[in-house]
Structure formats: C-alpha cells, structure tokens
A and B are shown apart, each in its own frame.
Chain A
Amino acid sequence: MIRLINITRTFTMGEQAVLALNQINLQIASGEYLSIMGPSGSGKSTLLNIIGLLDQPDSGQYELDGKAVTDLTEIEQAQIRREKIGFVFQSFHLIPRLTAAENIELPLTLGGVPIDERKVRVQNALQDFELEQRANHRPAELSGGQRQRVAIARATIMQPSIILADEPTGNLDHQIGAEVMLLLENLQHQGTTLIIVTHDRELGSRANRQIAMRDGKILTDQTHDTP
C-alpha cells in the first residue's frame, strides 16, 4: 500500500527551479498493476524514484504499508529498498565485471543472507528466468533480453512487494520487449505491485490502472477491470 500526499519535488538548475512533481496525491493498493505515461520531462521517473526511496520529496508525505517513510534514516530507507522494492531500469544496470549469477546474487549479499541459501535462491531464479545456460556469462556476453531478465531476476530475488520499472523495454526490440512485459506481469499475477513508466501507449494500456502525467501533475487516472 503506497500513499503519496501532496508530494512536491523541485530541482534547481542554476538559477532556474524546475517543478518536477507538483502536489502529487496518489494511492496504490498492494498487488495493483499501474502504468505511468506522459511526455518527456513530465516527472514520471521522479515519481518512481520517490516511490522507490531513491529520491526525497521537498514536501509532502509518503506512507508505505501504513508507515511514514519520508523521515526515516538513510540506513532504514536502504533496508526498505533492499527488502520491499525491486528496480528494473531501461539500461539494465548490470555490473559488467560480475557474471549473471553474481549480479542476481548481489541484493542477497548486501542483505547478509548466508551463502548456502544464496546459492539455492540464485539457482532457482536462474531457472525461473531461463538463464541457467547463461549463469557464468558476463553482461557483455548476453543479449538485451537476457540482460533484462537478469535484471528482473535481481529485482525479485529478495521477493519484494513492489516492482518499479522505468522504461523496462526501452532498449529492447518489440518482441523481446513483449516477453519481458509478460515476465513482469507474471510477477504481478503472483501478488507483487507493479508500477511501469513507459512512453509506449500500447504497453501502458496493458495495465489495469493508467496514469497520465504532465508538468509534474497527474492529468488522468483511469482504472479498467480487464486489460
């Protein structure tokens, strides 16, 4: 359960202040499938980053699962990111010197999960995302679709309750992108909240709930029962 109340985020570029988010009020229930669309610069990524606790609002309140998280310490926020939130990025953000398996293992390592359990969970994730043959390959040796699958495996290895995907198919061709979307939607079917930022109308319309943004404000917020 995500609740944003009067969230405002301003960036200052030299003399100029850019109002990236302007009094955003938004409530997202657990397990929802939500897409955020809008023109470039409308504040989509900023909203996603604030939900993912990567960025702090200038004003307003953010409640996650009934708990105010805006004023938590850096360490507490890091813990929430680690345990409750999984990020998927347009450019994958895999660590080039680590193998696919090691990239997937990273959140478990950061979380101090014992090595034996780590190996089992990574093995299962590799299976789930059909990456067993690629376990010991580095990102440079993987296709775009495989890289994004590794990134999704990494985002889900901690079994987060929220997946935040910023243009997850932006660097993939149409068919591979559709496959990646199916993977993400499959996670949502299993109960994970899925929030996707996209330019693509067609992709955005797959979500039950669709939000359109413009100039840091939510323009429309529509819910469809069947996608």
Chain B
Amino acid sequence: MTLLDTLQTALKAVISYRIRSVLIVLAMSLGVAAVIMLTALGDGARNFVIKQFSSIGTNLLVVLPGRAETAGSFPGAVLGQTPRDLTLHDAQLLGRLPQVKRYAPLSIGAAELSTANRLREVTVLGSNENLIPIRHMKLALGSFIAQGSERSAQIVLGAKIAADFFPHTPAIGQRVRLGDSRFLVSGVLASQGESMGFNTDEIVIIPVDYAQALFNTTSLFRILVEANNHEEIAAAKQVILATLKQSHDGEDDSTVITQDAVLATFDRILHTLTLAVAGIAAISLIVAGILIMNVMLVAVSQRTSEIGLLKAIGATSTDIRRLFFTEAAWLSLVGALLGFLLGQLGSLLIRILYPQFPAWAPSWASAAAIGIALITGIIATILPAIKAAQLNAVVALNRK
C-alpha cells in the first residue's frame, strides 16, 4: 500500500466517523489552544512588566539607605530604620561623579494641601528639576521647579489634584498652602495614571529642601541616579557605593538597585511562570491523548470484521498498523492546527480587548504545543494499532 493511499484511506475513515472525529479534534485543539493562549498571557505579562519598568526611566539606579543582602529585594522597606540616612549632601556628591549624568533626590511624605475653599491630604514628593526627565514624566502645563531655583517655593500638581482644586481656573500661577507654607503653582503633570503601583496623578512635587523642612528631617527616601549610558551602569553602581561608604565614615550602609537587575529578576520569574503555566496546559494534551487511545481502541473493536476482511484480501499486519496510526495522525494534526488557529485567535482577542497587553504566544510555545499534540496522538495509538494487527483473521471475520 502506497503512502498516498494510506493517507487517503485513513482520511476517509476520519471523515466518515464524523462525530467521533469532531470530538477528538475538539479535545486536541482545546489543549493546543490552551497552551498557546496561556503562554501568550504569560509572555504578555512579562513584556508588559518589562515595558512598565522601562517606562520609569532609562539607565536608572536607585540608591536607598540600608544594606541589602540579596539583589532584587527592597531592603529599605524591610529593615526600617537604618544606621545612617542618605542626605542631600550625599546626593550632591553623587551628582559630581563622571559616570552620573544626573540625579534626583527623593523625599516623600504626606501633608495637607489647601486653598481658600478646599483641603485635602496629598502625597508630597520633594525633589529637583531632574526628577521629570529621569522618571520619564511629562508636564501638561507650565514648568517644573526651574533649574537653580530649588529655593523658590514652587509646587507642581498631579493632574487629578489640579483638576480637583482648580476646576474652572488655570492652575498655573495660583497660590496654595501645603502644611504651613505657601507655594506658587508652577506646573501640572500630564495624566499618566497608575504606573508601578504609584499614581502620579495624585501627588504634588516641591523642591527637596522645602520637603525636608516640611517633614522636619534631613534624610532622603531615595536618590535616583541616571548613568551616562547602559554600559556604565555597573561602574556607576560601584563608584556610588564607594562614594557613599567614604561619606558615611567607611560604613557600607547603602544599597544601589539597578533597573537592569530588577528587570532581569522579573524577566526570570515571569518566564518561569509562563513555562509552568504552559506545562499545566500541556497536561490537557496528555488527556486528549488518552481520549484518542480510548477512541481508537473502540474503533478497533467496532471495525473488527473490517480488519478481518482487509487481511482476507491481502493486507499485512503492517498495513493495518499503518492505517490506524495514520488515522490518529490525521486526527491529531487537524486538532493541532485548529488549536493553533484558536490559540492565535484567542490571543488576538485579548490584544484587541486590552491593547496595552502584548499577548503574543512565543513561537516555541506554539511549536511545542503542536509537537506534543502529534506525538501524544501517535503514542496513544500504539496499543490499539498493535491490537488491530494481531487480530486473528478468521475470528475477526466472524465477529458481528
């Protein structure tokens, strides 16, 4: 029997047992589609997080007080009070390093923002003019705390706060009271919404020394540093640590987190997660394989007399084995391809519904899903095919 004839004969059988074939193809395709869609979600999440992380700045290093033992965690939050605080002086030292393009000190706290007829507690960020470019923020109106004017009492409002406090008049040039001090509104941030768990629409920004006075502290929450370029990130980290150690009387009590390291950690975690999810989905393919095995066993007993006849008219055991294998191969091939289409369609649907979410299935996942589908289909048929080929021709012919 030629290969082409085997393919055709098996295909005819697949088509004539329509309901059975549709069910198997469905089971197989759902498994493949599940693998593809879940990896699309997993990989999409990975890319989404990476994009979010990149959007907060480029070549970014974050200096925080306290020692970290493990890279990638946020020790400042864990250790609480630290041996020695970061100061504005430290920040200025870092700004002089050749590897550092610019820096922004960060002081953070809460205070009451008020006008004649409104009052509200807001999150206050104290920083300098570099915060906007380092953090990739945008101003909708006005200017940021102008260069060299850290002393002037100016304030930048988040988009939502500006809209709430000055719904009818332009916010720029208005006077507001923050705590006990008066500030002049110099700019309004462009609305960005939530980014990395921090809503920039609901903050206000003032010069860092005003913030320190407001919170009655000399310490800084963070120092954001931008390296000259990507290659110098590692060197910058080293000199920053060395500079701070010297400034802190030889005490190694600061931590520098590079955006790179955090990114790599997230990348790794989410990649592993994607793999795990794909693996779980692949189990459904094994289940589909068991279904194929069961259905092919039923097919062998249903078609016993047909197998007897094939032997009577000269089919060899090999011919019969091949016919059953080919039938299973057709079923799993069609199932795999349909599943591929379904999976791609599902991913497309996710992308249409959530345009920010890059739900693309990685090609390794699609290839693996189709491959596993075909292989399980074939393996599942080994037993039924052997059973069919071993049937005694006379007994098979007499079976009704």
Contacts and interface: CB of A to CB of B under 8 A. Distances in A.
A74 B391 CA distance: 13
B309 A54 contact: no
Contacts of A199: none
A94 to B, nearest CB: 8
Given A78-B315, A93-B305, A110-B1, A54 B393 contact: yes
A223 interface: no
A79 interface: yes
B393 A93 contact: no
Contacts of B102: none
B12 interface: yes
A83 B314 contact: yes
Nearest to B4: A115
A87 interface: yes
A112 B2 contact: yes
Interface in B288-345: 305-306, 308-319
Contact of B313 (A75, A87, A97, A112): A87
Across the A-B interface, the 6 shortest Cβ-Cβ residue pairs: A82-B314, A97-B16, A78-B316, A93-B309, A81-B314, A54-B393
B349 interface: no
In this complex, the interface size class of chain B, counting residues with CB under 8 Å from chain A, is: 20 to 34
B265 interface: no
A93 B398 CA distance: 10
Q: Is the interface of B mostly helix, strand, loop or mixed?
A: helix
Contacts of A98: 12
Given A97-B12, A109-B5, A110-B1, A154 B394 contact: no
A5 B315 CA distance: 27
Pick the most buried of B1, B306, B309, B319: most chain A CB atoms within 10 A of its CB: B309
Interface string B1-44: 11001000100110011000000000000000000000000000
A106 B397 CA distance: 17
Given A93-B309, A97-B16, A111 B394 contact: no
A107 B314 CA distance: 7
A141 to B, nearest CB: 14
13 contacts: A49-B394, A78-B315, A79-B314, A81-B311, A81-B312, A87-B312, A87-B313, A93-B309, A93-B312, A95-B306, A102-B12, A112-B1, A155-B313
A74 B316 contact: yes
B394 A55 contact: yes
A155 B313 CA distance: 8
Contacts of B2: 112
Contacts of A158: 314
Interface of B: 1-2, 5, 9, 12-13, 16-17, 305-306, 308-319, 393-394, 397
Contacts of B310: 106, 110
A81 B309 CA distance: 11
B309 A78 contact: no
Interface in A55-95: 55, 74-75, 78-79, 81-83, 87, 89, 93, 95
A60 to B, nearest CB: 17
A109 B1 contact: yes
Interface in A98-117: 98, 102, 106-107, 109-112
A38 interface: no
B397 A154 contact: no
Contacts of A168: none
A43 interface: no
A155 B16 CA distance: 24
A107 B9 CA distance: 12
A52 interface: yes
A43 B375 CA distance: 46
Nearest to A166: B397
A110 B317 contact: no
B394 A106 contact: no
In this complex, the member of A49, A52, A93 whose beta carbon has the largest number of chain B beta carbons within 10 angstroms is: A93
A75 B311 contact: no
Nearest to B13: A97
Contacts of A112: 1-2, 5
Nearest to B319: A110
Contacts of B305: 93
Contacts of B9: 109
